[in-house]
Amino acid sequence: MLIHTIQELRTEINKWKKDGLTIGLVPTMGALHNGHLSLIKKAKSTCDKVVVSDFVNPIQFGPSEDFDKYPRTLEEDVKLCDGEGVDIVFAPSSDEMYGKGQRLSNDTLTYVCPPFFYVNKLCGKTRTGHFDGVCTVVLKLFNIVQPNYAFFGQKDAQQVIIIKKMVNDLNVPIEIIQCPIVREDTGLALSSRNKYLSETGKQDALVLSKILNNIKTCYNKGITDVEALKETAYSFLTDKHDMEYLEIVDKDTLEDKIKADDNSIALIACRVENVRLIDNIYLKESN
Ligand code: AMP
């Protein structure tokens, strides 16, 4: 069932709550691919009822980012969700989410601001205000849907860590389930932004997962010095790659490391054909 308004959604949710059913929420910005579907499958196997939100959230995009051209494929998304047995696709307008005429600025709108330590690094360093926008929309969705469980991908590793922190700090009574990264056979992590890439661009984009896999291999051969591990990336890079960051940090706290250990995660952001791509890998466990 496709629902556009909070009121209609609440009516359905209230019926489920009355019947004592467990509810899972999968927040997305649409343009669904197999990565999203893996979250939906996990939600289906965990909960009685599943809501997928499909909303390109304006307040998590910076002024020079791709909000206007972000792929919007609602009709296809609904078909995919129907195929997975999703109970409700919630696709609100921006006015529905934030209020008609509401100026989308923290002068006039209540924002959720995650701690500086968590946002002043990795993606947050260049995407100023991005995680404020993410936390604000996610907490709103949590309050609208009131799920028992919410499902997030490790693909956006910094995001899921920040959301867990918000849930913990604000005593939000929802369990966050983190799901592994889904990749193409080539190793490329699935992303809605891959649609912007040409075939050559997709080939060049393989460098992200190659760099991460190589770092993992080197770590497992005994190299632990973070600078040495990061330097192994250079041999993969060409003039097609505009590297934004490559970092090795603690996988739960995002604390910097001098020596990598079994709790480390390597994260990369790199532009290919001016498309900003991100990926990450746990150095020890499989992912
Ligand atoms: P998005 O629509 O990009 O905001 O993503 C919605 C959710 O899907 C987020 O929790 C993402 O981490 C997750 N996701 C995106 N790509 C993948 C992927 N390749 N594998 C697993 N989860 C993903």
| Per-position DSSP letters for 207-256, written without gaps between them | HHHHHHHHHHHHHHTT--BHHHHHHTTGGG--TTEEEEEEEEEETTT--B
In terms of DSSP H, where are the helices of the chain? 6-18, 34-46, 74-83, 94-98, 116-119, 122-126, 130-145, 157-169, 199-220, 226-231
8 Å CB contact between 176 and 236: no
Pairing relationship of beta strands 241-250 and 264-272 according to DSSP bridges: antiparallel
* Segments making up each domain of the chain, as ranges: 2-179, 192-277
What's the rounded mean pLDDT across residues 19-30? 98
CATH 3.40.50.980 fits 2-179, yes or no: no
What's the rounded mean pLDDT across residues 19-33? 98
Instruction: Please give the DSSP secondary-structure letter assigned to residue 200.
Output: H
155 ligand 1 Cβ < 6 A: yes
pTM for the whole thing?
0.98
Q: Do domains 2-179 and 192-277 have the same CATH topology?
A: no
3-state secondary structure of 62: coil
Quickly tell me which residue has 């060049």 as its tokens.
Answer: 204
What's the rounded mean pLDDT across residues 171-196? 97
Q: For residue 24, what is the enclosing H or E element?
A: strand 23-28
How many Å apart are CA 86 and CA 6, to the nearest integer? 18
At 223-274, the pLDDT tens digits run 999 999 999 999 999 999 999 999 999 999 999 999 999 999 999 999 999 9
Residue 287 has pLDDT above 60, yes or no: no
Active-site residue list: 36
Mean pLDDT score of the chain: 97
Residue 286 has pLDDT above 90, yes or no: no
Which pLDDT score is estimated for 50? 99
How many Å apart are CA 188 and CA 185, to the nearest integer? 7
At 54-71, the pLDDT tens digits run 999 999 999 999 999 999
What's the rounded mean pLDDT across residues 185-200? 97
Which pLDDT score is estimated for 25? 99
The Cβ-side half-sphere exposure at 170, using a 13 Å CA radius, reads 19
Q: How many residues would you count in the chain? A: 287
List, edge to edge, every strand of the sheet that includes 264-272. 241-250, 264-272, 275-282
189 ligand 1 Cβ < 6 A: yes
* Tokens at 78, concatenated: 């609904």
Q: For residue 278, what is the enclosing H or E element?
A: strand 275-282
For 192-277, CATH number out of 3.30.1300.10, 3.30.420.240, 3.40.190.10, 3.40.50.880 equals 3.30.1300.10
Report the residue among 29, 156, 186, 192 best suited for mutation to probe ligand 1: largest number of ligand atoms under 8 A from its CB. 156
179 ligand 1 Cβ < 6 A: yes
Specify the ligand 1 atom closest to the Cα of 180.
Answer: 21
What's the rounded mean pLDDT across residues 96-101? 95
Work out the pLDDT band at 216, boundaries 50, 70, 90: very high
How many Å apart are CA 134 and CA 112, to the nearest integer? 9
How many Å apart are CA 146 and CA 92, to the nearest integer? 16
Which pLDDT score is estimated for 23? 98
3-state secondary structure of 132: helix
